[in-house]
Structure 1
Amino acid sequence: YGATGSTSMIHMRTFLAENDLTDDGVLYRHWDGGSTSLLATIGEVNALSFASNNIDDDPELDGSFHLSNASACIDAGTDFEAPDLDLDNQPRPQGQGVDIGADEAG
């Protein structure tokens, strides 16, 4: 706490993310979590250790918005703050690693 200058702080709390916009690689995001706002470039976000596996391709979702077998998101995530269950209450991970996103293919 009390970060100054170019030092950054990550504080884990529940927040509402809305109004995500990108413009020439700059991510503009309004996070409603009290009086805190954040402006970060996509490069800054991708440089975070828990964001290093980001995929900029089609996630290959099926018709029910679950990961298809062809998805590059399968086993490509990190377990940093990953919940034990996915959105369908399936245990995580299934396979070699955690999948990116709310669905764990399996």
Structure 2
Amino acid sequence: MLQAILGVLPIDDFVAEPLRTMQVVGDPAAVPPAVAEFRRIAAAAGIGAARIGGRDRHEFYADSRDGFAIVQTGDRRPYANILITKGVIAAGD
């Protein structure tokens, strides 16, 4: 699903981390399989690893409250959630 979204939705070029995932509770340096997959998909879309941030659980929840749209998938893996900050859609796109 992330690959499809990144194929049509530009990410914000004016924020340092337009993609954000939730850190593992108690082990913020851990990289769950879902997050590793998100990183691979982002890299294939030309989004560098430095532009994917991790947030602790409560910060992630707080950030999600400001969301405009939610895409629910059938992915039930732990930490298989990501916040995307949309960029500007240029006229004519």
TM (norm. structure 1) is 0.20
Structure (1 or 2) with the larger CA radius of gyration: 1
TM (norm. structure 2) is 0.22
Indicate the structure whose relative CO is greater, using CA pairs within 8 Å and at least 6 residues apart: 2
More strand by proportion, 1 or 2?
Answer: 1
More helix by proportion, 1 or 2?
Answer: 2
